[in-house]
Amino acid sequence: MWESDSLFKVSIESPRELTELTWPTVGPASVVPAPESTMGKTDVNTSDRYCVWIGNTPIKSYSAYVDKLMSAGFNVDYSRSEKWFKAKNAEGYDILAEYLGYDTMYIWVDVPEE
């Protein structure tokens, strides 16, 4: 038996503080449909990228949101699994939507590369 076999590491993060948010009408987020839930926390909000955690989103609501993204044109070079979606739209905007568990999803939108 190796000495390191007896080590066990645990990493714990406190829950994110989610608050009522308004979906942006300018910047990268403006090309993406707003999610159903308005509880969230913005991670990045720049002219090139928008990233946000959205709470109160069970897995069924996450899946319905991915359907909404695809209907809104995010269906170019897409890849979809049960808890992960990545695609572009015709204008070249990139999106990643990921279900994180605990009724939370993460959305990442990037503007097209020049």
- What is each CA distance from 36 to 46, 70, 76, 79, in whole angstroms? 22, 15, 23, 22
Model pLDDT, residue 4: 61
Identify whether the C-beta of residue 53 lies closer than 8 Å to the C-beta of residue 43. Answer: yes
Identify whether the C-beta of residue 80 lies closer than 8 Å to the C-beta of residue 98. Answer: no
**Residue 31 belongs to a domain:** no
**Residue 109 belongs to a domain:** yes
pTM value is 0.87
83-95 burial: b if 16+ Cβ within 10 Å, else e: eebbbbbeeebbb
Q: Which of 81, 89, 87 is nearest to 62 (CA)?
A: 81
Query: In which residue ranges of the chain is pLDDT below 70?
Result: 1-6, 14
66-82 pLDDT, tens digit each: 999 999 999 999 999 99
**Residue 19 belongs to a domain:** no
Identify whether the C-beta of residue 89 lies closer than 8 Å to the C-beta of residue 34. Answer: no
Q: What range does the domain containing 58 cover?
A: 38-114
